[in-house]
Amino acid sequence: MIEPVQSTVWQKLEPILSAAAVPLLAVLTAMLVGAIIIFIAGGNPLDAYWGLLEGAFGSARAISETTVWATPYIFAGLAVSVAFKGGLFNIGAEGQLALGAVASAWVGYALPDLLGLNLPAWIHLPLAVGAGMLAGAIWGAIPGWLKAKTGAHEVINTIMLNYIALNLTSFLLNGPMQDPNPLNVIARTPLIAEGARMPPIFPGYRLHWGFVLALLVALLIWWVLNKTTLGFEIRTVGANPNAARYAGVNVARTIVISMTLSGILAGLAGAIEVTGLNYRHELGFSIGYGFDAIAIALLGKTNPLGVVIAALLFGAMRNGATRMQFLTQIPTDIISVIQALILLFVAADAIIRWLYRIKVGEEKLVLTRGWGG
Amino acid sequence: MDLRRFGFILLIIVILIGVVVLVGGKTVPAGTIIASMLATTISVATPLTLGAISGIFCERAGVVNIGIEGMMLAAAFFGWFAAILCNSIWKMPAMPSLLIGVVIAILTGGLMGLLHAVLSVTYKVDQIIGGTVINILAVGITGFLNRQLFFEKGSIFGGQVPHAPGVLPRLPIPILADLPVVGVIFRQQPIAILAVVAVAVTHFVLFFTRWGLRTRAVGEHPRAADTVGINVIRVRYANVIIGGMVAGLAGAYFTLESVPSFEPLMTNGRGFISLAAMIFGNWSPVGAWMAALVFGAAQALQINLQFFRQQIPPAWAFLQQAYVVGLIPYILTMIILTGIIGRTTPPAADGVAYEK
Amino acid sequence: MRKFVILSLVLAFVLMPLAACKTSKEPDCKKADVFCVGLVTDVGKIDDKSFNQSTWEGVQQAQKELGAIVKYIETTDAKDYDKNIAQFADANYDVIVTVGFALGEATIAAGKKYPNVKFIGVDQFQAEVVPNVVGLIFPEDQSGFLAGALAAMMSKSGKIGAVLGTDAVPPVWRFGEGYRAGAQYINPNIEVNVVYHNDVGFDKTFTDPEWGKTTAISMIDKGVDVVFGAGGKTGNGALLGCAEKGVMAIGVDTDQYYTVPEAQSVLLTSAMKLLTPGTFALIKMAKEGKFPAGGNYVGEAGLAPYHNFEDKVPADAKAKIEELTAAFKSGTMQTGVSPAKPQ
Amino acid sequence: MKSEASMEHSAEPVLQVKGITKQFPGVLANDHIDLDLRKGEIHALLGENGAGKSTLMNIIYGLYQPDEGEIWVNGRQVVMHSPNDAIKHGIGMVHQHFMLIPVFTVAENIMLGSETVKKGVLDRRGVARRVRELSHQYGLDVDPDALVSDLPVGLQQRVEIVKALYRQADILILDEPTAVLTPQEADDLFRIMRELAAQGISIIFISHKLKEVLKISDRITVLRGGRVVGTTRPQETDQAHLAAMMVGREVILQVEKSEARPGDKVLEIQNLNVFDDRGVRVVNDLSLELYAGEVLGIAGVQGNGQSELVEALTGLRHIHGGRVLIQGRDVTNKPPRAITEVGTAHIPEDRQKFGLVLSYPVTDNLVLCTYYLSPFARRGVLNFRAIDENGRRLVEKFDVRTPSPYVVASKLSGGNQQKVIVARELSRPIRLIIANQPTRGLDVGSIEYIHREVIDMRDQGCAVLLVSAELDEIMALSDRIAVMFGGRIVSILPAARADRETLGLMMAGVEVGHPEPVQAVT
């Protein structure tokens, strides 16, 4: 019988160590493989990675841009993580994000005209962001509800909802919601009102309060998952739905909550992009956030704080890619390759453990038990 | 087999075609419309059918495969690449180049299948994550190579997109092909024909052969299969690899049968629709095929409603919106999933790694 | 043991680029004798076989003929427009080409921020006059109009069609509507079927040849005997569909007799929009100090040679096209197509 | 009484295992085991759960590889790499949990793995013919074209036997075959076993039920803690002796307990009707009353609706008709939580599947159904100090053997996992305990411990509803015994007046006359 107190310390410490090791090594290995690919493709890996690093952290502006990229990644990554914790696989972050953006853009530009008055920021901004969260919530709740009620598997449903959201957005931005300005020729909404905009933190830099919000939300989610009864229920349903049922947890309800929460976070990602950065929604933005989010959630071991780090890494890559291409003219697709490799190594951590002779075993997260018909 | 489901599916197809005939019947003879609808339906359904068959092989053996999309994309690229290599670098005639292309595409699919098997069977990675890995990897690799190989510096063709060997020819079936309306059905290209053959073969293999019996056993109750001396691991590997190869053939359709070129992301989500078709058809080859035809018909409807825009009665104006019509397959799939039209029952051990 | 491995790898990770920093060597565009041209793409790839690529070819021509140092940056997300332009501007590039209407505002903003840099905004109608920013625009509606007119004159069935990318892209829409107008100008009761590829993501609408082909064939099955394919690879797909069915096809942007050899046998002509020469011309002016002082520069548009159809197109039809082309040039004739799709 | 057949052949051993040793992480499952099986004999392998019986059989059948030791078949040493080899050497096994595929037909199940194929097509007709022959030859009537999922347990077991015979097995391993059978079904099985033995098939019969072992086998080998304790013959031994060999000491089959003092009515079930997942009515108009301070045992063969009854009582399964009252409060179709909150403890059937979250530390598992209540949570926020404190206390009190209360449940032994559940359930303020197979698969120590706890709770005035497939357990603990058959309570009688034979008949649905309808004993 170990002395309880120190055992608590060890219990808290040990998983962090073993959890951090694999993702870190996965990233490094992926970078190395990426380097080889670049080399074979006739590029200079060192130049490329230097460019990547310079572009991501080389200057105050670069760092600010990295945070700009990381912000939606944090929200989307958290969205996928929360679903994972609840034993659900949310491939629908893409669609939830897009609708969130559309909704908050609409509230952002249309509300003043509807009400015929200019709302003060302290009302308008929360409304705009809230609208995005609501849209995301709905888009996440649908598959959650279907799963709880009919057992229809969320993976296929979220994929379908992605396409529906895509069509919906295109329709709205090409028609009803398109910027009426005669000079505008783009499928995009009008600019949102001043009151609905999130100010940049430092003048001249695009780093906006949305990033700070993202960090706070990450903390909040961590707290909810680990310190509250709701989190306990979500995790229990995720770990063993049967036991949860026996213990009196309302599984159906919890599933819906997890997916809704997941949707809210994804919607938030879209809402913040609109209110904090673009001040409008434009067709074609957010291509590929959904799958990046999955990679980020897994890289972060579905731990909110891990997700933040993973998101910063992915943000840095996407942001630095521009500089890399400018310096070396290596196609930015290499970033996707590296990210896929990271995901590969994180998922099949056995490979990493074998490569680096890591002994410790940790139970792998089982997220899916087939389609469940 | 689940006749109720098939009846429902057929009904949808008839309705979709019927709508167009109603709308366009005034300007174009119904026969012509039906013929053109059928033609579109079949060509759209081809990759979906093969994709679904690919899924069926994997999932009947108990391995969920959402990587079909990625498998198709990779196969489409490498098949096409091989074809033009043969044709414009090694100066082979078009036909052999194309055939080599198809073979390479199938092999590529097989390799992706192998990767999926290694991840989900050997390393017991969550199978949906495994599929996601494949999807992302395929997009990255094809995008990167497509650029490196065919665009300016590093390009083996000096920046010029080389002359492609064209596409696989149509193989009309003698008498049938000359029938009036339905003739189009019998004027298909090889892969389209193979898709239908694949449906029949898969059905036969699954339900009438030793291989099929064992595959289904492994997908339903791997331990039971193990106790009668069936090598669960090997059966799963074999089926997932075969599944990959079928997906590879589907990929070949895009670059070697439909159009002689490759575009990044050109599979355009059809892999996921295949998955939907598989579930739609309740994991049975024939069912999946019909589901694929439904999605094909929906696509045809969409094109034709734009074509007949002027004829659409104002009451139905919303049908002019490509977006609206575009939703049909997705909404159908979600309805099917709710089990309103007959419950879908996946193999019992689908998605569960086998621990000895 | 494990911690050691991690540490060492972290070190490697940090040191690798540092070791590399010497190796990267940048041409100094600040020097007067070094002429640097940078290109920023719209969301979409440089090898999109559409406007991005055609423009890039113009830039490359500048590299060959003007000895310019050329580079491109591909935009992965709309939010990066400013950043990507800045990459070049901060490196003192002399000319920066931005491709696509979507970059219009970003280009103007950059023009004001970097007065010494010349900006060429391809497909951007610049209403505001900034001395170092020129919008390179094309009368797509006119060449679409000519294509439509020719199609109407060549059609026997009285049914012609067009397979296009999404109409959310103004040039595409103008091609399409011009085509319609031109056809009806020749034959008011001709049936013109224009189908846009709207049902997929913005990034796919120009790269879905399979859809283009399927759609074209579906039209042909219903009696259409001339098809206008416009919209990157999607349009090319339509041309291939015509080739398969042996129905007359009309290409777009460049003379597609050379870019889609498979369709040569059926290619009637191409509604040209000469991005490559237009881009090169402006770069050349910038190099020679003849850069227009703001506003817009109208690039060349019109019909390509008939090639295989040289003797199949009746003389009077040719004459009519000549006449219309002249009328557009002189400005005595308008297509009546608005610059952008009305809301 | 033993079959003459076996006597003649009992010379040459058809199967011999020598010094088989198998080490699993933590446990030495088999420790130099020797065993021999003679032609046509029924050789019982006796031992309590965890004695290493199943491990040994899985090794013989090629599912596990031994660390040491040899296997000899018909005088030749063989190595079993996989079941294939076992089958090749004529060994067939009927697993405790049937290895049948529900959606397949009997014929398909039987041919699976050794299919006959004509021109590439499965020869279903041929297989069916062969199956009929076999089932006729050995007097087991199975219909090759039936869907396995439609067959009753007894028949499924026969399908398993045919499956083995179909593969020309002359050595048959039956792993706990009677666990799921009524005494009468068991007798049928024994008849079949003798028939097989008579026709020269050698059978290894695994069990931990003394009576049937004595009844059927020619020789008995007893295992304990992975070692062979000894081999004997039925006529040379008796129950008590075997029991002693089995557990290493005299077992107290009788838990000594004071006379029950039933108090007020705690649980009342009125005309309960419940359907199973396939929509079959499995609890049929069932009525029952349970009083404070008594243990009511529900005896019955598995699959007669006990599990569904328990699920219905605990709110896990929809009730289609009738009412359930706990302490006078109507809890019909109330959610599980509402039912636990009126003071119900539930010890579920399958501890790993339903009882625990294996990836959670013991402390969290101990608050799995009270986490939301004060002091563990306030206004939705968990109070980990209280949760840890509670964990340490209960681990102490219920003597859960674990390095620390923060170890994840999956690292605990079965017995200790069960103790965690018991601790969690019994540490709450409760009036009613619903226990379903509370000691399944536990070592004697844990079994006795849990029996003690149950009796203590009874004496403290709890009402206990005990569902168990172990007749001995029922008889040891219950004050009243209700026999359940086909979803009905066929009769209720005081434990004092219950004997195995009558219970057995009732469990088989045979009407047994009673002097007077029995109600609560007072």
- Break chain A into its structural domains and give their ranges: 70-324
Strands D381-382 and D377-378: antiparallel
**pLDDT tens-digit map of D228-240:** 989 999 999 887 7
Rounded to two decimals, the ipTM of the complex is 0.85
Which residue has tokens 């290499």? A334
Strands D121-122 and D117-118: antiparallel
Which residue has tokens 């032609």? D39
| The two three-digit tokens of residue B92, written as one number | 């082979």
**Pick from B224, B226, B356: which is nearest to D101 by CB?**
B224
**Pick from D382, D403, D404: which is nearest to A229 by CB?**
D382
Instruction: Identify which of D521, D459, D504, D515 has the alpha carbon closest to the alpha carbon of residue D184.
Output: D504
| The two three-digit tokens of residue C282, written as one number | 């402006």
Counting as contact any 3 or more CB pairs under 8 A, the partners of A are B, C, D
Q: Measure the CA angle with vertex C207, ends C203 and C208; round to 5°.
A: 110
Mean pLDDT over residues A198-206, rounded? 88
Optimal mutation site among C160, C222, C239, interface B, most CBs of chain B within 10 A: C222
Flag whether residue C210 sits within 8 Å of chain B, measured between CB atoms: yes
Q: How far is B200 from chain D (nearest CA, A)?
A: 14
What percent of chain A has pLDDT above 70?
Answer: 90
Task: From chain A, pick out residues whose CB is under 8 angstroms from the CB of C81.
Answer: none
Task: With CB atoms and an 8 Å threshold, state whether C233 touches B261.
Answer: yes
pLDDT at C178: 94
**pLDDT tens-digit map of D15-73:** 999 999 998 776 788 999 999 999 999 999 988 766 788 889 989 998 889 999 999 99
| The two three-digit tokens of residue A34, written as one number | 């990426």
Chain A segment 1-30 residues within 8 A of C by beta carbon are: 17, 20-21, 24-25, 28
Confidence of residue A11 (pLDDT cuts 50, 70, 90): low
**Pick from A160, A336, A368: which is nearest to B351 by CB?**
A368
Task: With CB atoms and an 8 Å threshold, state whether D112 touches B230.
Answer: yes
Confidence of residue D9 (pLDDT cuts 50, 70, 90): very low
Q: How far is B198 from chain A (nearest CA, A)?
A: 24
pTM score, whole prediction: 0.87
pLDDT at A14: 66
Q: How far apart are alpha carbons B139 and A340 in whole angstroms?
A: 9
In this structure, which CATH number among 3.30.1330.60, 2.60.40.2480, 3.40.50.2300, 3.40.30.10 belongs to the domain C140-272+306-330?
3.40.50.2300
Mean pLDDT over residues A176-196, rounded? 84
Confidence of residue D4 (pLDDT cuts 50, 70, 90): very low
| The two three-digit tokens of residue D237, written as one number | 């031994």
Mean pLDDT over residues B54-69, rounded? 95
Optimal mutation site among A24, A71, A326, interface C, most CBs of chain C within 10 A: A326
**pLDDT tens-digit map of D351-383:** 888 899 988 999 999 999 999 998 899 999 999
What percent of chain A has pLDDT above 90?
Answer: 55
Q: Is the pLDDT of residue A289 over 80?
A: yes
Flag whether residue A247 sits within 8 Å of chain D, measured between CB atoms: yes
Instruction: Identify which of A207, A51, A50, A191 has the alpha carbon closest to the alpha carbon of residue A108.
Output: A191
CATH 3.40.50.2300 fits domain C36-137? yes
Nearest CA in chain D to B213: D112
What are D's interface residues with B at a Cβ cutoff of 8 A? 61, 63, 82-84, 86-87, 93, 95, 99-104, 108, 111-115, 117, 120-122, 163
Confidence of residue D511 (pLDDT cuts 50, 70, 90): low
Q: How far is D356 from chain B (nearest CA, A)?
A: 20
Task: With CB atoms and an 8 Å threshold, state whether C20 touches A360.
Answer: no
Mean pLDDT over residues C34-56, rounded? 85
Between D473 and A250, the higher pLDDT residue: A250
Flag whether residue D368 sits within 8 Å of chain A, measured between CB atoms: yes
Residue A373 and residue B344 in contact, taking contact as beta carbons nearer than 8 Å: yes
Confidence of residue A15 (pLDDT cuts 50, 70, 90): low
pLDDT at C70: 93
**Fold classification of D252-343+429-522 (topology level):** Rossmann fold (3.40.50)
**Fold classification of B3-338 (topology level):** ABC transporter involved in vitamin B12 uptake, BtuC (1.10.3470)
Flag whether residue B232 sits within 8 Å of chain D, measured between CB atoms: no
Mean pLDDT over residues A56-71, rounded? 93
pLDDT at D520: 41
Task: With CB atoms and an 8 Å threshold, state whether D368 touches A243.
Answer: yes
Rg of the Cα atoms in chain C: 23
Task: From chain A, pick out residues whose CB is under 8 angstroms from the CB of D405.
Answer: 4
Confidence of residue A2 (pLDDT cuts 50, 70, 90): very low
Determine the residue type at D465. L
CATH 3.40.50.300 fits domain D4-247? yes
Chain A segment 197-256 residues within 8 A of C by beta carbon are: none
**pLDDT tens-digit map of B287-325:** 999 999 998 998 888 888 888 877 777 777 777 676 777
Counting as contact any 3 or more CB pairs under 8 A, the partners of D are A, B
Task: With CB atoms and an 8 Å threshold, state whether C20 touches A358.
Answer: no
Q: What is the average pLDDT value for chain A, to the nearest integer?
A: 87
Comparing C36-137 with C140-272+306-330, is the CATH topology the same? yes
pLDDT at D11: 60
Confidence of residue A187 (pLDDT cuts 50, 70, 90): confident
Task: With CB atoms and an 8 Å threshold, state whether D357 touches A246.
Answer: no
Residue A137 and residue A260 in contact, taking contact as beta carbons nearer than 8 Å: yes
Instruction: Encode burial over C68-94: b for 16+ CB neighbours within 10 A, e otherwise.
Output: bbbbbbbbbbbbbbbbbbbbbbebebb
Task: With CB atoms and an 8 Å threshold, state whether C219 touches B307.
Answer: yes
Chain B segment 41-80 residues within 8 A of D by beta carbon are: none
Sequence-separated (6 or more) residues with CB below 8 Å from residue A34: A45, A334, A337, A338, A341
Q: What is the average pLDDT value for chain D, to the nearest integer?
A: 86
Optimal mutation site among D349, D351, D352, D360, interface A, most CBs of chain A within 10 A: D360
Mean pLDDT over residues B140-157, rounded? 76
Flag whether residue A329 sits within 8 Å of chain C, measured between CB atoms: yes
Flag whether residue C191 sits within 8 Å of chain B, measured between CB atoms: yes
Instruction: Identify which of B280, B335, B327, B307 has the alpha carbon closest to the alpha carbon of residue B56.
Output: B280
Task: With CB atoms and an 8 Å threshold, state whether B153 touches A42.
Answer: yes
Task: From chain A, pick out residues whose CB is under 8 angstroms from the CB of D371.
Answer: 229, 232
Cis peptide before D375 (omega within 30 of 0): yes
pLDDT at D522: 37
Question: A183-187, A245-249, B201-205, D151-155: which has the highest mean pLDDT?
Answer: B201-205
Q: Is the pLDDT of residue A301 over 50?
A: yes
Flag whether residue C203 sits within 8 Å of chain A, measured between CB atoms: yes
Domain limits, chain C:
36-137, 140-272+306-330
Q: How many residues does this entry show for chain C?
A: 343
Chain A segment 35-54 residues within 8 A of C by beta carbon are: 44, 46-47, 49-53
Question: B97-111, D274-288, D294-308: which has the highest mean pLDDT?
Answer: B97-111
Touch between chain D and chain C (3+ CB pairs, < 8 Å)? Answer: no
Sequence-separated (6 or more) residues with CB below 8 Å from residue C224: C157, C159, C160, C161, C193, C247
CATH 3.40.50.300 residue spans of chain D: 4-247, 252-343+429-522
Task: With CB atoms and an 8 Å threshold, state whether A11 touches D406.
Answer: yes
pLDDT at D2: 44
Q: How far apart are alpha carbons A359 and A39 in whole angstroms?
A: 32
Flag whether residue D354 sits within 8 Å of chain A, measured between CB atoms: yes
Residue B237 and residue B92 in contact, taking contact as beta carbons nearer than 8 Å: no
pLDDT at A372: 45
Residue B351 and residue B275 in contact, taking contact as beta carbons nearer than 8 Å: no
How many CA atoms are closer than 13 Å to the CA of D395, on its beta-carbon side?
Answer: 22
Q: Is the pLDDT of residue C190 over 80?
A: yes
Flag whether residue B27 sits within 8 Å of chain D, measured between CB atoms: no
Determine the residue type at B252. A
Q: What is the average pLDDT value for chain C, to the nearest integer?
A: 87
Task: With CB atoms and an 8 Å threshold, state whether B300 touches C46.
Answer: no
**Pick from B208, B216, B217: which is nearest to D121 by CB?**
B208
Confidence of residue B268 (pLDDT cuts 50, 70, 90): confident
pLDDT at D240: 77
Other CB atoms within a 10 A radius of the CB of residue B285 amount to 25
